[in-house]
Amino acid sequence: MSTDPRPDRTAVVTGASSGIGAATARALAAEGFHVVCAARRTDRVAALADEIGGTAVTCDVTDRGSVGALADAVATCHVLVNNAGGAIGLDPVESADPDHWRQMYDVNVIGVLHVTQALLPALRASGDGVVVNVGSTAGRGAYEGGGGYTAAKHALRVVTETLRLELNGEPIRISEVAPGMVHTEEFSLKRFGGDRDRAEAVYAGVDQPLLAEDVADAIAWIATRPSHVDVDELVIRPRAQAAAHKVHRS
């Protein structure tokens, strides 16, 4: 538990309906934040907000109007976790569906733009804001079939760096947490269009992929550093994964 003397700190987490987002909402609530849980699925964020004493907001980060309603619900924001994102497909560049690439850019990059723009006034109003963008090791290298997702996560990495430069001198820190293999309920299932066998094969034989809670723990750590400490980026992988292509399987 944090010993921060400000119990009125507010955190906003997008994509809070499952996985890393939901785990982060729980971790920040445990650190004493009032957490605004934002996602498209109202029933899920409502249940989570109920559980952690937070606030639920139905929000589609790709829709500027919807994000505006999120901003209207938040006067002051100490921590913004731009977590909503995801991968679609694992097709090579030669045959990838451009619509999938657009959707990935839309949610992983434009979504972050929408939410960050909308909440910057509330982050400034806090006098000590932190933005944590949930990137990926896919933003640090390439792998076959990953083109659309790696392009989007590389873009997010650069947007994060750009924002840090642009806000230099303001009381707002900008971080990126970049997880490798995380076994969540939905990431691979979504990537493979609901094909459970294909999704589970991603983690087959891997001794302890990361869990959503491991990444949430890292995000909560970033968010609770002293005000002068900006964790620019934090890459986190399971021990079994030395690189995107180097995964030990039993």
Residues tagged active-site: 149
**244 forms part of the interface with ligand 8X3 (CB under 6 A):** yes
For 239, phi then psi, to 5°, come to -55, -35
Closer residue to ligand 8X3 (CB): 59 or 138: 138
What single DSSP character describes residue 237? -
Which neighbouring-strand residues pair with 172? 129
Helix axes 98-105, 147-166, angle to 10 degrees: 30
Closer residue to ligand 8X3 (CB): 23 or 74: 23
Out of 80, 81, 130, 138, the only residue in the binding site for ligand 8X3 (CB under 6 A) is 138
| Beta strand segments in the chain, E | 10-14, 34-39, 55-58, 79-82, 129-134, 172-179, 233-236, 241-243, 246-247
**136 forms part of the interface with ligand 8X3 (CB under 6 A):** yes
Q: Lay out the site mask for ligand 8X3 across 145-164 (x = CB under 6 A, - = otherwise).
A: -x--x---------------
* Distance of alpha carbon 187 from alpha carbon 50, whole angstroms: 24
- The minimum distance between CB 67 and ligand 8X3, in angstroms, equals 23
Query: By Cβ distance, which residue is nearest to ligand 8X3?
Result: 136
Closer residue to ligand 8X3 (CB): 142 or 229: 142
- The minimum distance between CB 62 and ligand 8X3, in angstroms, equals 18
How many chain residues bind ligand 8X3 (CB under 6 A)? 7
Measured CA to CA in angstroms, residue 145 lies from 24, 77, 205 at distances of 29, 37, 21
Residue 197: Cβ within 10 Å count: 8
CB–CB of 132/79 below 8 Å?
A: yes
- The minimum distance between CB 149 and ligand 8X3, in angstroms, equals 6
**137 forms part of the interface with ligand 8X3 (CB under 6 A):** yes
Closer residue to ligand 8X3 (CB): 63 or 106: 106
**180 forms part of the interface with ligand 8X3 (CB under 6 A):** yes
Closer residue to ligand 8X3 (CB): 105 or 149: 149
> Please, what is the Cα angle at 54 between 50 and 55, to 5 degrees?
95
Q: Which residues bind ligand 8X3 (CB under 6 A)?
A: 136-138, 146, 149, 180, 244
